[in-house]
Chains A and B, each alone.
Chain A
């Protein structure tokens, strides 16, 4: 396959995944912001939402009031934010258009349809009902893309590169969503483990649709370290870091099998997976969850670079 095609596929999948995750982050922040003042009053859920997408510096540089409306617009629709949902879907479509030949018609339809429908949501950052519709719309678009890839693509390198994009982005985003908790302020009078703390953890779970999973796995009330265990180490949860890395390693192995050689990408991925397999959540917390996640995000970025160097450049 052309290196450029592989690169386009890889990023196409990443943009779609990123759009969905940003939708989930907005959803979670919305939920926190909707809480009565007695539970969450005066917290900084909107700024932490921006921090979770890694774009806080950019937002600040634009000198906008950090109001809910401005931030929603920034995260969902702003062309100034290259990772806004709209930007992601637009770039996904440009990539898809460039590699039409490698996509199945269902996948193209999913992307092109999502892009065509964007114009129906102008002004949604000022209209809660419309915003909710938009977030559902984005999640469904990404489900459709994923689903059509899963159901219609031949399992060859085209599929492997696209899937690698999905899982690398998903791992990055899961880590970031979990890290939101680090950026969320607990007011001085609130204690760790108190009411607000609880709602913050629960909104994180909800934002990755893992509430039910949590209760199935742990059969306990919400505990921060168990939430982290689920999202980081539990390989049964499809978006946990451990599960993402199982998939990443599997697809990289498929590639090395198909091409008859392996390299730096396979080694970097395996070392991260081994670390996730051997860690316990106690270790993670004793070193600091935020520190662990920061390091993970950096490692994950290095893997992306290794894949680029090995196959896409």
Chain B
């Protein structure tokens, strides 16, 4: 396998721009000081209660995501390019969703196959023909970015449903500022603390036209047993909005109210962190006790904005992802700034044949999968696993796509053996409002802590890092 590109240095002596001060500091700092700081960081996270739950893991009801105290640095020119590309991509995503739920131009033009949309489990027929207040479906997007060399950033995934992780971006920064004030003094690091303001402004901007001048926003959570509950309560707190569960809401005459100590209060915008299927038992899963009966009627009547909109999951689909370059060109008439990872759609016979012949070098993913589940990393799997996966692939080729195994960039990481390179990705958060697109410089850097591992998901042993975007 090729040697991965390291974002700090290619060799002991060299250093890439932006990392000079950090490298000098790392070289001069004894490992036990780093250990102490790491222990302090862990204590801070425990104290804050920033925990998550891993599904299916009984004894680990509450864990903290491992935090690496060595920051990941992105220079100003790199960020400028990235953020332009992100804005472009999310604009295209919104145009695409608006289109497929109304006229379907892109389908009739034959650019994206119809069955990929209409037979997609995340396509919501209930949304067909529903006119959203501002033609914005994805107010909050988390776009996963990986890097393979100094110049190439790839989009690995678009998360257009309910992307999570932004609380870690914010808390990681807080903790780093407590632990390493000197490093902050020596760098000019773009702040991220304005994210909650940007989010609230975005959410208010997409309120229904009938809403009052200062609309009421609430965050809908599945409840304290959800793995991301900490983030929900954290965001509600930072935004100064109510954190509601389904049972706190009621719909009367197609208007949504929350039950308060002073009686019912109208809600205009719902930042929902609940999947489509659970939103409204009258429309979707009838057994959902997390949702709000009648919510979809209020939504269709234009009395409440749901953020993100219902039905955005289509854009998360990895087969749809493979059409993103065409989607950008179709709606914006521009060349995509951010590249897609070359993707073989196994639904196409030629592609399937190629993938089956090259399983040992490829990563195969379920089109609707997330969280790093249900995928095959060819080079890391043994022959038997590959053969079993090959059989699954042949049985249901439509469910899979395949990509070459990328040599993800690495970033210096403090592990048991000392400072060593580990693979990283980046999830910036892109906010789309009626007025403009807002992107806080940075995002969540996830790091695969196991040597050689490419899986950065927190559910599978990944950790996080603070991400520093240097000011020009």
Contact = CB atoms under 8 A, between A and B. Distances in A.
Contacts of A205: none
Given A97-B229, A109-B47, A116-B46, A2 B262 contact: no
Contact of B261 (A6, A97, A108): A6
A259 interface: yes
Nearest to A261: B262
Most buried by B among A3, A113, A311: A3
B260 interface: yes
A75 to B, nearest CB: 25
Interface in B204-248: 223-224, 229, 233-234, 236-237, 242-245, 247-248
Interface in B32-81: 46-47, 49
Given A2-B244, A113-B47, A259 B233 contact: no
Contacts of A97: 49, 224, 229, 233
A101 B219 CA distance: 12
B237 A101 contact: yes
A312 B258 CA distance: 13
A46 B247 CA distance: 43
Given A2-B244, A3-B260, A101 B236 contact: yes
B259 interface: yes
Contacts, number: 52
A302 interface: no
A79 to B, nearest CB: 15
A152 B261 CA distance: 22
Contacts of B236: 101
Contacts of A98: 223-224, 233
A3 B261 contact: yes
A4 interface: yes
Contacts of A161: 261
Contacts of B248: 2-4
A139 interface: no
Contact of A1 (B223, B229, B260): B260
A112 interface: yes
Interface in A1-19: 1-6
B404 to A, nearest CB: 43
A94 interface: yes
Nearest to A158: B261
Contact of B49 (A6, A101, A112, A259): A112
Most buried by A among B237, B258, B261: B261
B59 to A, nearest CB: 13
A144 interface: no
Contacts of A3: 248, 259-261
Interface in A126-172: 157, 161
Contacts of B262: 1, 259
A143 B375 CA distance: 51
A1 B244 CA distance: 11
A97 B53 CA distance: 14
A5 B248 CA distance: 10
A5 B237 CA distance: 13
Interface in B356-371: none
A137 to B, nearest CB: 17
A20 B223 CA distance: 28
A100 B49 contact: yes
Contacts of A6: 261
A255 B247 CA distance: 24
Nearest to A95: B224
Contacts of A259: 261-262
Contact of B47 (A101, A112, A311): A112
A3 B236 CA distance: 16
Interface string A40-60: 000000000000000000000
Contacts of B234: 100
A100 B223 CA distance: 12
Contacts of B244: 2
B142 to A, nearest CB: 22
Which range holds the interface residue count of chain B?
Answer: 20 to 34
A1 B237 contact: no
A113 to B, nearest CB: 7
B79 to A, nearest CB: 32
Interface in A60-111: 94, 97-98, 100-101, 108-109
Contacts of B260: 1-3
B45 to A, nearest CB: 12
Contacts of A1: 242, 260-262
B423 to A, nearest CB: 33
Interface string B76-94: 0000000000000000000
B261 A101 contact: no
B247 A4 contact: yes
A108 B49 contact: yes
A109 B44 CA distance: 11
A56 to B, nearest CB: 32
B237 A100 contact: yes
Contacts of B47: 109, 112-113
Contacts of A101: 233, 236-237, 243
Nearest to B259: A3
B233 A312 contact: no
B46 A2 contact: no
A148 to B, nearest CB: 14
Given A3-B248, A4-B247, A94-B224, A311 B261 contact: yes
B157 to A, nearest CB: 30
A98 B234 CA distance: 11
Contacts of B49: 97, 100, 108, 112
B217 to A, nearest CB: 13
Contacts of B237: 100-101
Contacts of A4: 245, 247-248, 259
A125 to B, nearest CB: 24
A157 B261 CA distance: 9
Nearest to B221: A98
Contacts of B245: 4
29 contacts: A1-B260, A1-B261, A2-B242, A2-B244, A2-B258, A2-B259, A2-B260, A2-B261, A3-B260, A4-B248, A6-B261, A97-B49, A97-B224, A97-B229, A97-B233, A98-B224, A98-B233, A100-B237, A101-B233, A101-B237, A101-B243, A108-B49, A109-B47, A112-B47, A112-B49, A157-B261, A255-B261, A259-B262, A311-B261
Which 8 A-B pairs have CB atoms at the shortest separation, nearest pair first? Answer: A101-B237, A100-B233, A311-B261, A3-B259, A98-B224, A6-B261, A101-B236, A1-B261
Interface of B: 46-47, 49, 223-224, 229, 233-234, 236-237, 242-245, 247-248, 258-262
Given A2-B248, A161-B261, A255-B261, 19 more contacts: A2-B243, A2-B261, A3-B261, A4-B245, A4-B259, A5-B243, A97-B224, A97-B233, A98-B223, A98-B224, A98-B233, A100-B233, A100-B234, A101-B236, A101-B237, A108-B49, A112-B47, A112-B49, A259-B261
